[in-house]
A and B are shown apart, each in its own frame.
Chain A
Amino acid sequence: MPRDEKFGVLLVTGAQTHQENYARALAADPRGRLIALADEPNVAPRRRELNERLARELNVPHIARLDDALGRDDVHVVSVCAEPDRRGPIIVACARAKKHLYLDKSLAPRLADADAIVAAVRESRVHSHMFSFITQPWARRAKGVVDSGGLGDLVALHADIHFAKGRAGTAKLGSPRREQFPPDPLTFQRTEAKREMDNTGVYGVSLVRWLAGRDVRSVFCETANYFFAEHQQAGAEDFGLLVLSLDGGLTATVSSGRIGWTGHPAGGTSRVIVVGTKGTRVFDANRPRVEMYNDQPPWTPPPVNPADPMGFWTSTQQEVHTMPKLAWQPLAAAASDAGYFFDCLAADRDSEMNAAAAAATTEVLLAGYKSAATGDLVSLPLARA
């Protein structure tokens, strides 16, 4: 813990990224204090404008050169939300500057980036944490049951992560998607589309690995374009499914994707089914819950915001007055992922979703793209260049 008992947080990259949420969560914790917002000096004018916008909203200085910000002694933690194709070298630079790392998901779109991040974190002996679902109450309940042996020996895990956002029904259906490997890093996040097997699948794969406490040995994957013309035109899948074989004969399946605003009464399915020799249980972000039905106007999808047609970001959803879905209210409040990371820092212990775990998840996802491109089972580890 620093002397003033607060961790100074540098934000890398601003508006229209998940930094909109992470920054506020980090600032809301009594152990966190926002210091500044910075980025690489050569970012596009639009990115710089968005960075300056979030800095203004958060009332922190904008520093144009990341290196200058990393030189500050009052920065202890860096929250990195740069676009996926820029992420790797930025995270490495932050680690080498001896800053702890709060990382957006997924870790990086290139295996070489993921490896470099793991090496830099290890050499610099900093703590790291990637945002995931493992800090949420339903996932912690699942972990408790798995670790207690209450379901006997673990046989299988089945995760479903579906985001109910975006205006669906525009994709051209009828033929399988042709996947490419390696995937183009620039296709992981565009204004109109993200690669959803990665973007939502990262939650399922990281959850499965964490629950099992075992490594993935082989991957079979299908990617698809089921919902959005935007994804199809951008060369990005909107859906994917994975079949994983883990050490010890354990199997896992993951379905993930963006399914459209009207596909779920809440924000979408986020759940894992745990199969043991003594029984099967489901752990779900929306269970247990209360359900409410009343005479207020029913929920309707928001108009499309051209700046963010898929509803990725909080600010752009607010611009089109997106209504909250209120019919389902889970009993357990969402936990603060940022708070979990501060717990780790305060105790000088590593996160259960550190850079190494995040990189292992990235390798599974990249193996998924390879499998989807070839139609074959892919063994891990992947070959390094």
Chain B
Amino acid sequence: MNYFDQLRRSVLETIKAGRVGQPVFVRFLVASDANRETQTPLLARLVQTAGEWLGAPPRRLYATVSPLPAGASVSVRFENGATALVSTATPGHAGPTIDVIVLGNHGAVYHDGFAVAAESAATVVDGHEDPALRAAIEATMRSMKPHVLPGKEAP
């Protein structure tokens, strides 16, 4: 199991144990060697993981992408009203970094990515990214407008 998977599982177990109440917000930043080709799958993987932690599928996305590589952000509203900010960035001075804040209504989980060096983006992207999510991220990046995914209720 790689570093990202360990982090993903550890946060999930903390949430499932009820230690922070109901999770409502995720701040996810991966500072890595992602490039134009790997950026969208990476963002999709991070949004999927945030959704797993928050317990709901994404409903509304809005992405910004810089003209330079590795500078994209996605704002996500999930079906249950939870939100996330997911960003990619150039590597930190200590190497690649995965930084996480998960806010729950009774507590919070912090993973201080800037205190440790992580792995390259390749170990985050595992080929299991939801194609519809990838397409939605690409759509909002292209249109530079919010994109709504199909779901149960109006976002």
- Judging by beta carbons under 8 Å apart, are B83 and A263 in contact? no
CA distance A251 to B87 in the complex (A): 11
Asked, given contacts A160-B27, A259-B108, whether A174 binds B80 with beta carbons under 8 Å apart, the answer is: yes
Residues of A within 8 A of B (CB): 153, 155-156, 158, 160, 162, 168-169, 171, 173-177, 220, 222, 224, 226-227, 239, 241, 243, 245, 249-251, 253, 255, 259-260, 262-264, 269, 273, 275-282, 375-377
Residues of B within 8 A of A253 (CB): 73, 75, 85, 87
Residues of B within 8 A of A (CB): 21-22, 24-25, 27, 29, 31, 60, 62, 64-68, 70-71, 73, 75, 77, 80-81, 83, 85, 87, 89-93, 97, 99, 101, 103-108, 110, 114, 144-146, 153, 155
- Judging by beta carbons under 8 Å apart, are A263 and B107 in contact? yes
A sample of 13 inter-chain contacts (CB < 8 A) reads A158-B27, A158-B85, A175-B153, A222-B75, A227-B105, A239-B24, A251-B73, A275-B89, A277-B68, A281-B114, A282-B92, A282-B99, A376-B146
CA distance A56 to B28 in the complex (A): 48
- Judging by beta carbons under 8 Å apart, are B24 and A156 in contact? no
Minimal Cβ-Cβ distance residue in A for B20 = A263
Asked, given contacts A251-B64, A264-B108, whether A239 binds B146 with beta carbons under 8 Å apart, the answer is: no
- Judging by beta carbons under 8 Å apart, are A156 and B105 in contact? no
- Judging by beta carbons under 8 Å apart, are B103 and A226 in contact? yes
Residues of A within 8 A of B81 (CB): 173-177, 224
- Judging by beta carbons under 8 Å apart, are B75 and A279 in contact? no
Contacts A168-B106, A177-B81, A253-B73 known; list 11 others, CB within 8 Å.
A155-B89, A158-B27, A175-B153, A241-B85, A259-B108, A264-B108, A277-B68, A280-B31, A280-B92, A282-B114, A375-B155
Q: Which of A175, A226, A245, A259 is within 8 Å of B64, CB to CB?
A: A245
Minimal Cβ-Cβ distance residue in A for B73 = A253
Residues of A within 8 A of B67 (CB): 249
Q: Which of B29, B103, B114, B146 is within 8 Å of A263, CB to CB?
A: B103
Minimal Cβ-Cβ distance residue in B for A225 = B81
Residues of A within 8 A of B21 (CB): 168-169
Q: Which of B27, B62, B68 is within 8 Å of A153, CB to CB?
A: B68
- Judging by beta carbons under 8 Å apart, are A222 and B83 in contact? yes
Min Cβ gap B41→A in Å is 19
Min Cβ gap A34→B in Å is 39
CA distance A114 to B55 in the complex (A): 41
Minimal Cβ-Cβ distance residue in B for A265 = B110
Asked, given contacts A174-B80, A220-B146, whether A158 binds B87 with beta carbons under 8 Å apart, the answer is: yes
- Judging by beta carbons under 8 Å apart, are B103 and A162 in contact? yes
Residues of B within 8 A of A168 (CB): 21, 105-106
Residues of A within 8 A of B97 (CB): 280
CA distance A177 to B60 in the complex (A): 14
CA distance A162 to B107 in the complex (A): 12
Q: Which of A220, A226, A239, A250 is within 8 Å of B62, CB to CB?
A: A220
Minimal Cβ-Cβ distance residue in B for A177 = B81
CA distance A246 to B54 in the complex (A): 30
Min Cβ gap B28→A in Å is 10
Min Cβ gap B152→A in Å is 11
Asked, given contacts A173-B81, A176-B155, A177-B81, whether A250 binds B103 with beta carbons under 8 Å apart, the answer is: no
Q: Which of A177, A255, A281 is within 8 Å of B27, CB to CB?
A: A255
Min Cβ gap A73→B in Å is 51
- Judging by beta carbons under 8 Å apart, are A263 and B92 in contact? no
Minimal Cβ-Cβ distance residue in B for A160 = B27
Residues of B within 8 A of A278 (CB): 90
- Judging by beta carbons under 8 Å apart, are A173 and B103 in contact? no
- Judging by beta carbons under 8 Å apart, are B31 and A275 in contact? yes
Asked, given contacts A226-B24, A377-B144, whether A176 binds B92 with beta carbons under 8 Å apart, the answer is: no
- Judging by beta carbons under 8 Å apart, are A251 and B71 in contact? yes
Most buried by B among A162, A227, A243: A243
- Judging by beta carbons under 8 Å apart, are B66 and A250 in contact? yes
Residues of A within 8 A of B110 (CB): 269
